[in-house]
């Protein structure tokens, strides 16, 4: 682990903050005093790019301007607002944490580390990000961008996941205790704009003279990568069943687990015959739509939508127009796009 003198640390903090004043990004949650808004941004930014988050963030605050409005909302409304952003556990955790704030903290978002860590979905780096940004508290962070910056700074010889304690120590050592808000924001911006994964802009980096990866002329050799695991592909078939009233059948996923609480067309890996017998015993196959491809963190799917005509009605049957009122995953949204294409000749 690198060891810096007090003088070097002072210079590193100053140079990073000077760079940030010149080149830092302007973002809607920067210098935001409302801790609720900062919390929303921190959760949305987990594993998601800023350019993707900004429109979701703005729409979210229109729908749920306060923690109390979020807590009072129906989970389906929350999931619909999150639709397309991915990692839906984040939305469920936000909803549950908002209810914790109302029941455990009288509707006032907690502003101390111990209390904030009690909220669903908030860990050490998220808590540090919230409290340093909204309250300028001297708490370190360690998100993906920061891990990359620090791993290059010390030329870390193992993947970051195997040296989290070391990286936390470095983040805490470097943190400017007098200006933690701007320092943490600067550190994240450094990783997002200069110290990028594939083409780091080392000549413009304020820390290049302290960066071991740069000084060794091999910045892209760090962070060290863990061995890649082969990602399996699941081949699924989705039953797009229309009844005689031109309604389509959808079902809700269990609240827990992957895509919990979202809606979908019935689907099954491999043979779909047993699913049809269970749900639509009189199903008549009409045609298939284009196969949908989608990648999750640990696997990929190939989803073939097949259209069927059935003679059923009751709960679960909705019009094509009303599908917009339900939250779906990205893969099933791609099916809906095909169904609503005016060029598509459906058997209706």
Lowest-pLDDT choice from 2-11, 123-132, 206-215: 2-11
Degrees (nearest 5) of the Cα angle 183, 189, 195? 115
Confidence of residue 346 (pLDDT cuts 50, 70, 90): low
Q: Work out the percent of the chain whose per-residue pLDDT is above 90.
A: 90
Average pLDDT of the segment spanning 185-200: 97
pLDDT at residue 3 greater than cutoff 80: no
The whole-number pLDDT of residue 2 equals 58
Confidence of residue 294 (pLDDT cuts 50, 70, 90): very high
Average pLDDT of the segment spanning 244-272: 92
The whole-number pLDDT of residue 270 equals 82
Which candidate in 7, 32, 42, 83 is catalytic? Answer: 42
CATH fourth-level superfamily of 6-221: Hypothetical protein; domain 2 (1.10.340.30)
The whole-number pLDDT of residue 345 equals 63
| pLDDT tens-place string over residues 301-311 | 999 999 999 99
pLDDT at residue 46 greater than cutoff 90: yes
Considering the entire predicted model, what is its pTM? Answer: 0.90
Domain boundaries, the chain: 6-221, 233-339
The whole-number pLDDT of residue 1 equals 52
The whole-number pLDDT of residue 313 equals 82
Active site residue 42: yes
pLDDT at residue 255 greater than cutoff 90: no
104/257: higher pLDDT = 104
Confidence of residue 258 (pLDDT cuts 50, 70, 90): confident
Mean pLDDT across the chain, nearest whole number? 95
pLDDT at residue 192 greater than cutoff 70: yes
The whole-number pLDDT of residue 57 equals 98
Domain 233-339 is of which CATH architecture? Alpha-Beta Complex (3.90)
pLDDT at residue 348 greater than cutoff 60: no
The whole-number pLDDT of residue 343 equals 73
Confidence of residue 208 (pLDDT cuts 50, 70, 90): very high
């Amino acid at each position: 682990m690198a060891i810096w003198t007090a003088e070097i640390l002072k210079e590193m903090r100053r140079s990073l903050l000077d760079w940030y004043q010149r080149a830092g990004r302007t973002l809607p949650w920067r210098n935001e005093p409302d801790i609720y808004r900062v919390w929303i941004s921190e959760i949305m930014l987990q594993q998601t790019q800023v350019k993707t988050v900004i429109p979701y963030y703005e729409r979210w605050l229109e729908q749920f301007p306060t923690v109390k409005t979020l807590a009072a909302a129906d989970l389906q409304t929350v999931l619909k607002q999150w639709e397309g952003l991915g990692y839906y556990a984040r939305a469920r955790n936000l909803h549950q944490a908002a209810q914790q704030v109302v029941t455990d903290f009288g509707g006032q978002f907690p502003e101390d580390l111990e209390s904030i860590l009690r909220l669903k979905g908030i860990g050490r780096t998220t808590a540090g990000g919230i409290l340093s940004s909204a309250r300028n508290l001297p708490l370190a962070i360690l998100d993906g961008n920061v891990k990359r910056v620090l791993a290059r700074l010390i030329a870390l010889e193992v993947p970051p996941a195997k040296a989290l304690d070391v990286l936390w120590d470095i983040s805490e050592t470097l943190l400017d205790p007098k200006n933690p808000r701007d320092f943490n924001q600067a550190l994240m911006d450094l990783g997002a704009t200069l110290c990028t994964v594939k083409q780091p802009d080392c000549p413009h980096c304020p820390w290049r003279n302290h960066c071991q990866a740069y000084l060794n002329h091999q910045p892209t050799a760090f962070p060290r990568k863990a061995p890649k695991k082969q990602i399996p592909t699941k081949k699924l078939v989705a039953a797009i069943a229309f009844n005689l009233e031109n309604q389509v059948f959808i079902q809700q996923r269990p609240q827990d687990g992957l895509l919990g609480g979202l809606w979908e067309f019935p689907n099954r890996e491999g043979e779909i015959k047993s699913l049809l017998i269970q749900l639509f015993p009189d199903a008549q196959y009409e045609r298939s739509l284009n196969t949908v491809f989608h990648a999750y963190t640990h696997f990929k799917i190939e989803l073939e939508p097949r259209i069927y005509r059935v003679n059923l009605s009751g709960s679960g049957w909705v019009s094509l127009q009303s599908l917009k009122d339900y939250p779906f995953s990205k893969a099933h949204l791609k099916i809906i796009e095909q169904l609503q294409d005016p060029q598509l000749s459906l058997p209706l």
